[in-house]
């Protein structure tokens, strides 16, 4: 349930932002003790205060009056874009004199790290398309699913918001569209040469067994759900069917061998198999049993204990329960013994010498601390060695320290924040009762994300569980191999920066066909998603499809973006796309320093070329004085002569070259957006049919251009050639 909350959550009208951030480390929790908060039976559910918010961070305290001992999730949103997430500390009981009170659990969202600054800048840019109002708010999510939204910067104008968040009006867009000059740009410099391995979650429910036959009907497998899926709205990419491997049965060694061969070929380093273990009773155990017997697939592996209930709703809930998890310490200690054969296999995945065990929901385990101590002791006794117990970041259970684990593993879609797409936007019929989300926005929310605990990043290629839930399903639209590649590249960089000497990136998943989250080839995308993993694992350049998509280029870091542009064979198209995207969001171009790389080796004033500047700021003189505080408007037309065959498929840049007695000084360039054929000029010039005259006009900002005189030229690029045509016109920048 979504509720709007005033900034003063409770008794906080006078607790407005302070000039400097409140550092929690310098303010122990005892300073936040409040006798009034012990009265939790009356008043609003949410208690707290936002003490500071600025470009450096947001801090304060929050208490859920119904569950005062529980931590609370907090996320900063700009419009529909989640910028950063955090949680409050724990509410510790304390005493003040004779009274028992609840501590105020503090929180801080740090906005100063590079990854967060990038997300912040992107969200601002996307919001400022319609600059009348910038909606910025904190979303406070409670453990029962209810959430509140607290508005920030309500009375600020868009320009004031930009400044308040630590950007300048002149240069905040450079975080998104970096200048590309003539200097040499190498590939992205890794902070670490750490090896990264790619591990896919693996679902074993592709064979029939007794319990499923009884619950769902004879012969039921996951393929049953996939075969009956139907599109829920016009743009819904459904159905999909298996391609290369067909409707396989994982009991066949040929199938598992093919899976292993395919995974190795495309850079997958191992599988993480789900284990279904209920107080010693195992389901779907056949693939792992055969893995030990015949060795197929011959690929490294680890296990994830799916320790939820088995329900008819496929969500681990108590509703329509088929087989329950009745956890107890006496039962759960046996898990490590039952898994010993797997953990002792030489192919079992380790990190820093420790066997990786993933638990889907460790919070369901009673007395976790004692249980894991017993597991560790028993693993040593059995010769397994040291184990690395990891929690899947699901259902708000993110921090491994809260559940006595060693590290956390992201588990999208649980770990993403994204825009919920209104049903009307996808023309969904009234019969569709599910939810639609934006995959690209979800991917953006993960870019650059780090945590203050050990973790392994994870990505998902797609998500769509309508095969299981039909019109009640959840669908992520705008998924594509290109968006997946951007996400996977960022996850790889994040993995290299974590606290382990060797690292993993998890992919959800290899074969979750009924949730649309599969890498295995299908009838819609073939091997495209597998090809992404191979390309990233092999450190190959960014694909051409990403280079031609400003929406995805925007998600790359500045260094990656410059590398992508420099390496691209279609560099000028990429550069033009970036400029057009910047123009769409800002309304005016900003002059970029340097010159496009196509200027190197371009024909200089080729035979028959002609550039005519008709006017500059409506002035027709050859030398026009301009004030850099205001925009410059240039109109003219060009004929590139014999530089290349006439074609409408060409791109042009207006280039400003500095003039001084000692030679060239600073200059810049910008994209010619309004580019049209001038038939009137062609007739007037009595030109031949092969000649083509293009008119143009463009408006741009030169606020960073130093004082001086700059000659105008046009760089025209097309058909594999380029020509630089100079004019006699110049502008004189004078402040």
Going by C-alpha positions, the residue among 37, 143, 51 that lies closest to residue 106 is 51
Q: What is the 3-state secondary structure (H, E, C) of 516-542?
A: CEECCCECCCECHHHHHHHHHHCCCCC
Q: What is the pLDDT of residue 641?
A: 78
Q: What is the pLDDT of residue 380?
A: 97
pLDDT of residue 26: 34
For the chain, which ranges sit under pLDDT 70?
Answer: 1-43, 90-104, 126, 128-133, 168-192, 312-321, 547-548, 550, 554, 557-587, 643-650, 660-665, 687-690, 719-720
CA dihedral 91, 94, 96, 98 (to 10 degrees): 130
**Could you tell me the end-to-end alpha-carbon distance of the chain, in angstroms, rounded to an integer?**
55
CA distances in angstroms from 319 to 186, 217, 310, 316, 324, listed in the order given: 56, 20, 10, 8, 11
- Looking at the DSSP bridge assignments, the partners of residue 47 are 63
Rounded to whole angstroms, the Cα distance separating 358 from 397 reads 13
Question: Where are the strands (E) in 431-521, listed by range?
Answer: 435-438, 455-456, 458-459, 474-477, 503-507, 511-512, 517-518
Q: What pLDDT score was predicted for residue 313?
A: 57
Asked if residues 589 and 670 have their Cβ atoms less than 8 Å apart, the reply is yes
Question: What are the structural domains, with CATH classification, of the chain?
Answer: 46-176 (2.60.40), 196-540 (3.20.20), 548-584 (no CATH), 589-733 (2.60.40.10)
**What pLDDT does residue 614 have?**
92
**What pLDDT score was predicted for residue 656?**
93
pLDDT of residue 189: 42
**431-456 burial code (b ≥16 CB/10 A, e <16):** ebebebbbbbbbbbbbbbbbbeebbb
Q: Model pTM greater than 0.95?
A: no
Euclidean distance between CA atoms 246 and 549, whole angstroms: 33
Residue 3 pLDDT? 46
Helix runs in 528-669, H state only: 528-537, 544-547, 550-553, 558-567, 571-586
Query: Average pLDDT over the chain, rounded to whole?
Result: 81
Neighbours of 457 (CB within 10 A): 27
How far is Cα 103 from Cα 390, in angstroms, rounded to an integer? 30
């Amino acid at each position: 349930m979504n509720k709007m909350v005033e900034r003063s959550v409770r008794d906080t009208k006078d607790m407005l932002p302070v000039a400097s951030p409140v550092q929690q480390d310098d303010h122990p929790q005892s300073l936040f003790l409040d006798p009034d908060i012990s009265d939790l039976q009356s008043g609003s559910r949410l208690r707290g205060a936002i003490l500071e918010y600025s470009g450096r961070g947001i801090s304060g305290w929050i208490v859920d009056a119904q569950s005062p001992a529980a931590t609370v999730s907090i996320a900063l949103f700009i419009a529909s874009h989640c910028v950063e997430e955090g949680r409050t500390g724990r509410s510790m009981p304390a005493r003040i004199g004779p009274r028992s009170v609840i501590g105020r659990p503090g929180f801080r969202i740090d906005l100063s790290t590079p990854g967060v600054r990038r997300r912040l800048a992107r969200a601002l840019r996307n919001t400022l398309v319609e600059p009348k109002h910038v909606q910025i708010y904190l979303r406070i999510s409670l453990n029962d699913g209810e959430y509140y939204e607290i508005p920030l910067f309500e009375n600020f104008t868009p320009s004031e918001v930009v400044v308040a968040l630590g950007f300048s009006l002149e240069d905040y867009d450079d975080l998104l569209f970096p200048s590309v000059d003539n200097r040499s740009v190498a590939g992205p410099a890794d902070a670490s040469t750490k090896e990264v391995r790619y591990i896919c979650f693996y679902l074993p429910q592709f064979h029939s067994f007794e319990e499923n036959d009884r619950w769902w009907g004879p012969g039921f497998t996951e393929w049953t759900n996939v075969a009956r899926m139907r599109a829920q709205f016009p743009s819904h990419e459904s159905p999909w069917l298996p391609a290369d491997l067909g409707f396989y049965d994982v009991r066949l060694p040929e199938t598992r061998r093919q899976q292993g061969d395919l995974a190795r070929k495309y850079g997958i380093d191992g599988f993480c198999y789900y284990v279904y273990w209920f107080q010693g009773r195992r389901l779907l155990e056949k693939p792992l049993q055969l893995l030990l017997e015949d060795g197929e697939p011959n690929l490294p592996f680890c296990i994830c204990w799916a320790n939820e209930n088995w329900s008819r709703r496929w969500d681990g809930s108590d509703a329509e329960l088929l087989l329950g998890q009745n956890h107890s310490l006496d039962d759960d200690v046996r898990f490590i013994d039952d898994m010993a054969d797997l953990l002792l296999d030489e192919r079992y995945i380790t990190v820093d010498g420790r066997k990786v065990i993933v638990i889907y929901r460790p919070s369901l385990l009673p007395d976790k601390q004692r249980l894991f101590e017993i597991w560790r002791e028993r693993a040593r006794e059995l010769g397994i060695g040291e184990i690395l117990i990891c929690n899947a970041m699901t259902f708000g259970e993110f921090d491994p320290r809260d559940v006595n684990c060693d590290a956390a593993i992201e588990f999208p879609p649980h770990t993403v924040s994204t825009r919920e797409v209104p049903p009307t936007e996808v023309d969904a019929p009234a019969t569709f009762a599910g939810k639609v989300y934006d995959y690209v926005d979800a991917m953006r929310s993960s870019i650059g994300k780090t945590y203050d605990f050990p973790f392994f990043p994870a990505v998902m290629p797609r998500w769509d569980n309508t095969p299981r839930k039909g019109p009640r399903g959840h669908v992520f639209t705008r998924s594509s191999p290109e968006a997946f590649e951007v996400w996977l590249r960022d996850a790889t960089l994040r993995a290299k920066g974590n606290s382990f000497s060797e690292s993993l990136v998890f992919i959800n998943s290899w074969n979750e066909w009924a949730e649309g989250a599969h890498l295995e080839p299908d009838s819609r995308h073939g091997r495209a998603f597998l090809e992404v993993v191979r390309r990233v694992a092999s450190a190959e350049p960014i694909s051409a499809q990403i280079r031609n998509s400003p929406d995805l280029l925007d998600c790359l870091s500045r260094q990656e973006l410059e590398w992508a542009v420099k390496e691209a064979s279609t560099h000028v198209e990429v550069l033009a796309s970036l400029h057009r995207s910047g123009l769409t969001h800002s309304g005016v171009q900003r002059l970029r320093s340097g010159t496009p790389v196509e200027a190197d080796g371009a024909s200089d004033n080729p035979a028959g070329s002609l550039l005519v500047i008709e006017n500059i700021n409506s002035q027709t003189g050859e030398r026009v004085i301009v004030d850099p505080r205001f925009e410059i408007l240039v109109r003219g037309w060009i004929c590139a002569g014999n530089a290349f065959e006439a074609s409408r498929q060409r791109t042009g840049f207006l280039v400003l070259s500095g003039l001084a007695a000692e030679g060239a000084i600073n200059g810049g360039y910008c994209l010619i957006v309004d580019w049209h054929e001038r038939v009137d000029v062609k007739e007037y010039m009595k030109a031949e049919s092969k000649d083509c005259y293009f008119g143009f006009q463009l408006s741009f900002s030169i606020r960073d251009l130093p004082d001086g005189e700059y000659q105008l030229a046009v760089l025209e690029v097309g058909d594999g050639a380029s020509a630089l045509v100079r004019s006699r016109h110049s502008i004189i920048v004078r402040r």
